[in-house]
Amino acid sequence: MSIMSNGAHLSISFHNFWPGFAPQSSYFVRALEERFSITIEPLGRDIQFFSVFGRNFPEEVLKSSALKVWFTGEAQDPRDLIYDLYFNFSRNELLGSRSIRLPLWGTYIRWWDKGTPLSPDSLTAPRVFKRRDKFCNFIFSNPVSFRNEFFTTLNARQRVDSYGKVLNNMGHRAGDKILTLQDYRFTIAFENFKSLGYVTEKLLEPLAAGSVPIYWGAPECRTDFNPAAFIDASQFSDLEALADHIQRVDGDDQMLAAFCEAPVFANGIPHEMTPASFVERIEEALETPSLRGFGRDSNIQIAQKRNMKGRLRSGLQKARQALRF
């Protein structure tokens, strides 16, 4: 039973998150606000969240006794420091309960909205088949050769509309991605690479839009989501066999309807992906000292070295700029 009273106050901070990250509207703060009163500060006294977009570790942050929580949806492992909790797309079994799987798609659900395609009520509602006018889309910014090759293979048979930076054949970029996907029977939804547990919003978004994902990625796709609702590209012998299957499905409304009517989740949204589960793990770590890491002294040494190098690099850059003038 929790020893923390409902509505208890937490002072938190965020470090090395992605450009444009807005803490107040983030999954992390919105989840914690369900249970706690939250203040976001430069130096969190209770919790400090870290990600991988930068390597600045202020010594005053690391010297504190705050709970240190690491998160990334990127294909990166923790670097430099020792954290108390690790949230990412795959678990490290050697860290036991301190390592928690929270793939990126879990943070893309609009948990606190209703009636939008990505809201929990929409994602778990019965689905109705309606044949869309357009065949297939391809929306990517990173030029992954394998993914590009499949676009070329399928596009040679039947036009695939590309709205992204890569192989754009529309002359413009997609605006609202979900609205764009809603016009299509299929969506190419290949990950950048395959790694255990790495399932992103690339699978969630077409499912939310009612477009059948043609998905290639981690095997957990079949347990995170209902495998009857998407085409798992990894089950085919080669790209031509996959393209053959897509055309068969497209030519048979009964087959297409089976995908479109299948629930997004076989047994509802998994609890471990929910904000409630995230808060449970945070609260457990706050209340249980034995669930924390043992890295404070090591972290201070690493931060001092990293920050010293960073200050030296910055000083050299300023000196070079001054010499130019």
309 and 223 within one domain = no
pLDDT at 6 (0 to 100): 63
Domain that holds residue 20: 9-106+273-324
137 and 200 within one domain = yes
Tell me how many domains the chain contains. Answer: 2
Q: Which residues contact residue 12 at a Cβ distance below 8 angstroms, ignoring those fewer than 6 apart?
A: 29, 32, 38, 39, 40, 41, 44, 46, 47, 48, 49
In a domain, 156, yes or no: yes
- Checking if the pLDDT of 32 tops 70, the result is yes
Instruction: Look up the pTM and report it.
Output: 0.89
Domain boundary among 268, 288, 315: 268
124 and 163 within one domain = yes
In a domain, 244, yes or no: yes
State the average pLDDT over residues 261-278: 96
138 and 41 within one domain = no
Q: pLDDT grade, residue 310 (50/70/90)? A: low
Q: What is the chain's length?
A: 325
Domain boundary among 268, 283, 310: 268
247 and 294 within one domain = no
- Distance separating alpha carbons of residues 86 and 67, to the nearest angstrom: 11
- The secondary structure element, H or E, covering residue 312 is helix 296-324
In a domain, 309, yes or no: yes
- Distance separating alpha carbons of residues 85 and 292, to the nearest angstrom: 7
Domain boundary among 252, 268, 284: 268
- Checking if the pLDDT of 311 tops 90, the result is no
262 and 117 within one domain = yes
